[in-house]
Structures are given as C-alpha cells and as structure tokens.
Amino acid sequence: MAHPHIHPTNEISSAASKWLASLNPDQLNKATFEYLDGERLFWYYPPLNRHGLAIRDMNENQRNLAFSIMETCLDKHAFSQAKQIIELESILGKIESSHGIKSFSRDPELYYFTVFGNPNDNDPWGWRVEGHHVSLHFSIWKDKVISTTPFFFGTNPAEVKEGPHKGLRVLSEREDLGFELIQSFNSSQQKQSIIFEEAPFDILLYNSSKAFFPKEEGLIGSKMSGVQKELFMSLIVEYINDVRPEIAQDKLSMVNDMGIDNFHFAWGGGTSKGHKHYYRIHCGDFIVEYDNRQGDGNHIHSVLRDTENDFASDVLRDHLMNFHVL
C-alpha cells in the first residue's frame, strides 16, 4: 500500500483526461472500461489482439497525448526503453523477413492504451498500455499511486546482431547485473542460488492475475558479502526505478524496511553471457522474474510483481470494504 507522501497524481490524471477528451465516441468506447471491470485484471505480453485503443487507430495528436500518460509515470530512462521496445517490432520484422521466418505481424502500432474509471473522480481509476513486450498497469486513488504492477518489459532480440541497429541492447542493465552477481558468488553460494540446471522456457508466473510462489528459493542476502549485497540491491533498484522517482520511493522504502538480508536470489541455466539463463528475486510480496531462454538466449522477458497488490487489489479491497459494503 502506498505511503502517505505527495505523488504526481494531478499530472497523471491531467494527461489521461486530455487524451480521453481528444477521442471521438467510437474511440472512447474502445479506450474506456469501468474500474472494476474484469478486463483490468487480464494482461499478457505476446503479440495478440487486445482490448483498448491501438496506436494505429489514433491520429498524431492522440498518439502524443497517449504517450504523455506513459511519460508522466515512468522514469526518463524507462520511458525511452518502452519506446525502443516498441520500435524493436520494426527491427525484428526485418530480421525475420531476411531469414525467411514467418511469424506474427511485427507492427509498432499494435500497442493499446486503456483507461479504467474516471481520472477526475474521487474513486480509484487506472490506465494500461499493452502490446508485444510492454505491459504496464497503474492505479491511482486521490493523491496516491496505489499500484504500478504487474510491470513487464521484454525484448526480442535482446541484442540486435545485424543491420543498422547492430549492438542495441534495450534491457542490458538487468541482464549484465544478473550475470555480474551470479559470477561474483563462490562455489558454495552458486550451489545455493542455482535452482534450475536449465533456464525455464519463460517466466514461471506467465500472465497470472495473482502472483504466487510458495516460498523464497535460492541464496539469501544475509549470506552475501558486502559487495555482493550492493550488486544485489542495484539489480533490485533496476526494476523499481522504472517508474518516476516520486512513485518509486514507496517500493524503495519497502525494500529498505524488509532489509536486503532477507531477499533471495535464484538462478537457472548458464552463468556466463551468451548462455540461456533465468533469475528470480523474491522476498515476501516482492517478486522479480527474468528469463532469457527463447531465441537461443536472445529474447528477454522480465516482470516486477507485488503478490498482494498487483492491480491495486490490496488497496481496492480496503476501498470496497469501507465504501461499497452495505
């Protein structure tokens, strides 16, 4: 649950309202749902047809206003990454075509924006943007951002290996920090941290509406050296800092309160770059999953989850009990 300090919710609400005001009735019908509609709890990250208003169905002004909603919520670097992930569709499409690979339509305009509820009401409301390898979900209530998860970023290719964009690695930090941490472990620490000989095919939680692992696995932070703890914290912060600093502060405070000693780091697959690999960070309700197995270890899926408050379920439960139960 969000801590009681000032959030940029007026800016977010204003951005969403301006976008909605720019839409015609048909567009508005596609772009909006009630906040309690079950649609809000469905999410997925492959290329597929989605509900919401696609970029391809907006004019230039509407597109700019839609991306302004995203920009008000994300850290500058993460906002740039989100746009690069979308642009990777065109790069991937050309690579697959040059190799004679028949796959999904790789269209950077097939990303869908949706608003749930009314940004100008006192009740909770939220927004979502979703498409191939981007799935962002934000809920706001009055002056607080009450949920920012699930937060999914992926890349295919993880590293562009040919063409004019050769060398581009949009999510390089979360890959490099993961390898740096696992390689810093001694043999005993690696033995405790490696829970899979091979990386799973995908993140294990997939697109579940309710995130759940029965227990933490891997190497606990209390068994890491001081330098390793710093690396571990840098990796955790890599995910938390995808949102703008004023919003990220809630989760940063939570992590500090829980203590790095109580977080677990679990690994699967090879421990050197170029090998298929997986890692998980877990402490209580906080879960990060990262997987890079598909595409011969060149296709990243990564997600931050909050087992009790994905989609603002924890805060919403309190709201419903206080205001909607007779």
Tell me the pTM: 0.94
**In a 3-state reduction of DSSP, which class is residue 256?**
helix
Q: What is the pLDDT along the chain (326 residues), one digit of tens a residue?
A: 343 444 589 999 999 999 999 999 999 999 999 999 999 999 999 999 999 999 999 999 999 999 999 999 999 999 999 999 999 999 998 888 888 887 778 899 999 999 999 999 999 999 999 999 999 999 999 999 999 999 999 999 999 999 999 999 999 999 999 999 999 999 999 999 999 999 999 999 999 999 999 999 999 999 999 999 999 999 999 999 999 999 999 999 999 999 999 999 999 999 999 999 999 999 999 999 999 999 999 999 999 999 999 999 876 665 554 544 44
CA distance 86 to 72: 18
- 10 Å CB burial of residue 19 (0-12, 13-18, 19+) is buried
SS3 content of the chain, % helix, strand, coil (to 5): 40, 20, 35
CB atoms within 10 A of CB 44: 13
Residue type, 36: L
Which structure tokens are listed for 64? 């700019």
Q: Which single residue is written with the structure tokens 């600093």?
A: 245
DSSP letter (8 states) at residue 101: -
**In a 3-state reduction of DSSP, which class is residue 205?**
coil
CA distance 247 to 190: 34
CA distance 97 to 244: 37
Residue type, 325: V
Which structure tokens are listed for 287? 């879960």
CA 137 and chain centroid, separation: 8
Which pLDDT does position 138 carry in this prediction?
Answer: 98
**In a 3-state reduction of DSSP, which class is residue 61?**
helix
Domain ranges of the chain: 9-149, 172-308
CA distance 33 to 202: 30
Residue type, 227: V
The sign of the CA dihedral 78, 43, 25, 58 is: positive
